[in-house]
Amino acid sequence: MALHRLTSVCIGVPNVAETAAYYEEFGLTRLDDDRFATVDGGEQLRIVHSPRRRVLELGVGVADPDDLDSAAARLAAAGVAASRIADAVTAVDPGTQVRVVISIADPVLQAAAPVIAQNAPGQADRGTARAEPIDRRDHVRPRKLGHVVLGSADLEASERFFTDGVGFKVSDSIADAASFLRCSTDHHNLLVQAAPVSFLHHTSWQVDDVDEIGRGATALLNKDPARHVWGLGRHHVGSNFFWYLKDPAGNFSEYYADMDCIIDDQLWKPEIWGDIRALYSWGPPVPGSFLAPDDLAELMAAAHGS
């Protein structure tokens, strides 16, 4: 695969300092005023000023200069204007207005998470001992940026841009509504969904397991219960456990664990899902504000004014 990872995301918000403080609390490591790192992915988030909340830039990693040439050729063949700079190819998606930067990047090498012994019916694997997760006290630290979900004002154009142009593969889709796309072996690294205006729906950050999701989310909610959006639950498409929280600019941020992987493209059969049940296998009812964020009208007004 020419593409092998998401490298980083740059988010524009009106309230940089407040939003940056939130992501530090979320568990990212602050490198300086506006840049943040994950444990395994290195620098993966930048927060800059923008009159309305949005993604300004999304980074995708490739292995070598030949991959950059291929990406430039794909974008040209797809009729997309792209720039080749020293060691990157950049282009703007007309549907989401996001600038994509394809650059040469090291792979995300992840040390295997320790296997936690679990008791199950007829199988007392833990022996005579308390469960390990109950003694965790350290701050939850996301391992990597997993995926970004973008509202697109032109879904078809965005799908073409990201698949035919940039080189993402389609893992699954929801008819006329959204496409789950991957640039790695994760089920999805990007989801583009039809929307009346381009906006950032959420960024999603991988943690080791469902206990880390619970610990991370409850720590944030203990400080401010209004941050809750949706969770704990398990998605149907992608299979991951999730909990969504809201940053001070209105962007959702997700802790996730145990997402499907697509190791062998030949063995995966993309499906087209038809209704809301595709969204989750179990969890609280999906809140209306998850499907259409409360500030959508405000974002539309700001987009038309800018």
Rounded to a whole number of angstroms, the minimum distance from the CB of residue 83 to Fe ion is 30
Cβ(98)–Cβ(88) below 8 Å: no
Rounded to a whole number of angstroms, the minimum distance from the CB of residue 249 to Fe ion is 18
Rounded to a whole number of angstroms, the minimum distance from the CB of residue 73 to Fe ion is 31
Cβ proximity to Fe ion: between 186 and 254 the closer is 254
Cβ proximity to Fe ion: between 184 and 204 the closer is 204
Give the whole-angstrom CA distance, residue 299 versus residue 304.
9
Rounded to a whole number of angstroms, the minimum distance from the CB of residue 141 to Fe ion is 19
Torsion of CA 37, 96, 151, 225, to 10 degrees: 30
Rounded to a whole number of angstroms, the minimum distance from the CB of residue 215 to Fe ion is 19
Q: Which residue is nearest to Fe ion (CB)?
A: 204
Cβ proximity to Fe ion: between 82 and 151 the closer is 151
Give the whole-angstrom CA distance, residue 222 versus residue 201.
23
Cβ proximity to Fe ion: between 90 and 250 the closer is 250
Cβ proximity to Fe ion: between 97 and 253 the closer is 253
CB within 8 Å of 108: residues ≥ 6 apart: 5, 40, 41, 144, 184
Which two structure tokens, joined as six digits, stand for 56?
């300004």
For Fe ion, the binding residues (CB under 5 A) are 204, 254
Report CA-CA distances (Å) from 153 to 187, 193, 303: 24, 9, 11
